[in-house]
Chain A
Amino acid sequence: MIMLTGVLGAISGVWLAGLIMLGLGLVFAIVLLVASEKLKVPVDPRITQVYEVLPHLDCGACGYPGCSGYAKAVIANPELLGQCAPGGADAASRIAAILNLRISASGPAKRPIVHCRAHTADRTYFAQYQGIPSCTAANALANAQACKFGCLGFGDCVRACKFDALHVIDGLSTVDYTKCTGCGACSKACPRNLIEMVPFSYENMMTVACRSRENGKSTRAFCQVGCIGCGLCAKQSEAFTVADNLARMDYAKYAPCGENEAAMNKCPTGVIVCRGKTAPPPREPKAKSAEAAKG
């Protein structure tokens, strides 16, 4: 009998505790329910839709922290539509469809071109740089290498690249176009502004792989493969112009044709090269191959 009351008492205690907890839970549930109704923040369903069509690389090329940040920004301000470089025209048109916008055809995807083709053996050094192994640091010194315009080869761009598409090969930053998404991080990282984002209208683009505005004599003294501003290319093809001792390519006028081929073959220092997925290796400079023939 005493045992029975004990058991009953224990059960009633448990019941009481359970009821109290149930009641407390109910009170809090009601409070939270009311609060969630009162404090509801309407979320635009298009944000998730736009986020879905983005590439989810979180590369930051658009200037926003990650793809979700860009999704919010593009809905607030549709002018930002074409900012997603890795997504390209495909993502832009799909976002436009979600936002009920019509976009005119956007240009070809941009890819980086390094405006330098000098490997370590081609360069001249006045002294050996032994400072912080970063291009930004080396660029602060006047004499990190003789050429004040060329690639320093410490790989600031390589560290900026999230897609393993850039490597410093023998002192020269080289783009792997099969891996590149065109986000432009390398272009921003280069302290010498050597990396230009070029609209790749064709699989391979011809370019003047030099940025040296030194006069021809100095350029020749500093680098085996620099542009000396001789103007032979401009005589062959309209796509080239020479100013400040440097030939430049107008990419809007470029097409793979005989004239441009001729300009490339005429170049005495071989600084006009093709860049792209299936680009042929750059030509040897005339002087060098002549020397080689002599030797």
Chain B
Amino acid sequence: MDLLYVLLTGFISVVLINNLVFTKFLGICPYIGVSGRIDMAFGMGLAVTFVMTLSGTLTWMIDHWLLMPLNLEVARYVAFIMVIAAAVQLVEMYLKKFFPPLYESFGIFLPLITTNCAILGLCLFLVVWGTSTLIEAVVLSFGGGIGFTIAICIMAGIRENMQMVDVPESLRGAPITLITAGLLALAFMGFAGII
């Protein structure tokens, strides 16, 4: 029961309160770049969730079972980046084989998940937050991905509706998107302190 409680609070925390996009400002590039249409945004969110869960788990295992016993914490960044790059490659091959339309619609953004700082950020946060068990690492990295998906989907929904709005000339395009992102981040601050 204790474990379940820890996992649940951890999950809610990483999805809402410590949302990587809204409170840590990580992964802003795809958050702005792929949030034009809600179906694309959802697909991107799922791909990031998958890569995040996979690489979060793998990096936790490497960190705890290989680097920490050998006192090689300095090699963390390099090792983590390698894991993420390999995971993205794997996802890319898998999508190309089994979901060609999704692969086509992602285009350049799929390889760019490699450089999505939200993923490396989450892997390092797992260390900072002192994640002690494997199951906790899996749940937290999955939650990080879900948090990203929620953020990008909310943004895409707003932007789809905003196309029908008469935005002042000087704010059209990127400026209004950034303002929206800022307001959303402010709104998510309201979740702080619920657990």
Contacts and interface: CB of A to CB of B under 8 A. Distances in A.
A127 interface: no
Interface string B51-83: 000000000001000110011101100110011
A16 interface: yes
B78 A21 contact: yes
Interface in B83-142: 83, 86, 89-90, 93-94, 96-97, 100
A24 interface: yes
Nearest to A27: B86
Contact of B97 (A20, A25, A28, A41): A41
Contact of B75 (A17, A31, A36): A17
B93 A35 contact: yes
Contacts of B75: 17, 20-21
Nearest to B78: A21
Which range contains the number of B residues in contact with the other chain? 20 to 34
Contacts of B70: 16, 20
A24 to B, nearest CB: 6
Interface residues of A, number: 15
A24 B96 CA distance: 25
Contacts of A24: 62, 66, 79, 82-83
A191 B94 CA distance: 45
Contacts of B86: 28, 31-32
Given A39-B94, A39-B97, A17 B74 contact: yes
Contacts of A28: 82-83, 86
Given A17-B72, A21-B75, A32 B82 contact: no
Chain A contact residues, majority secondary structure = helix
B82 A16 contact: no
Given A31-B90, A32-B89, A20 B96 contact: no
Interface in A6-20: 13, 16-17, 20
A39 B74 contact: no
A32 B66 CA distance: 21
B95 to A, nearest CB: 9
A102 B99 CA distance: 35
A14 to B, nearest CB: 10
B179 to A, nearest CB: 28
Given A21-B78, A24-B62, A41 B96 contact: yes
For the complex of A and B, 7 pairs with smallest distance between CB atoms: A28-B86, A39-B93, A39-B97, A17-B75, A17-B72, A41-B96, A41-B97
Interface of A: 13, 16-17, 20-21, 24-25, 28, 31-32, 35-36, 39-41
Interface of B: 62, 66-67, 70-72, 74-75, 78-79, 82-83, 86, 89-90, 93-94, 96-97, 100
21 contacts: A13-B71, A17-B72, A17-B74, A20-B70, A20-B72, A20-B75, A20-B79, A24-B79, A24-B82, A25-B82, A28-B83, A31-B86, A32-B86, A35-B89, A35-B90, A35-B94, A36-B93, A39-B93, A39-B96, A40-B97, A41-B97
Given A20-B67, A20-B75, 6 more contacts: A16-B72, A21-B78, A28-B86, A36-B93, A39-B97, A41-B100
